Amino acid sequence: MVYAARHGRHKLRHDQVRHCPAMGSLCTRAVPLMPRGTRHELTGLLLEGDFYPVLRVADGGEWRLEITKAWRPLLGKRVAIIGVRDGFDLIAVERITLA
């Protein structure tokens, strides 16, 4: 950090080599931790979640699903989804069908 002489307040210094880990996404060379907007085609078991339905895939991972279509009749069944990643474990579903 660099301190301003007149006001005594600090300003962040954009130094990619020395301050990149502390500045995170402010660095131009920082790697995004959550690649949002990536397209996914997944198959798994559709389960009831707290707020979102959950897709449990074969490797044991789980995805929360943001679905606007009727999905309750598919609970407990093996389904295939196509959607776009919208968060760490959230998929905005474009299509859901029985697998």
Identity of the residue numbered 34:
M
- Cα–Cα distance, 37 to 30 (Å, whole number): 18
pTM equals 0.64
62, containing H or E segment: strand 62-66
Q: What are the boundaries of each domain within the chain?
A: 1-31, 39-98
- What are the per-10-residue average pLDDT scores of the chain (99 residues)? 49 46 49 72 96 95 93 96 94 95
What is the fold of 39-98?
OB fold (Dihydrolipoamide Acetyltransferase, E2P) (2.40.50)
pLDDT at 98: 96
Identity of the residue numbered 31:
V
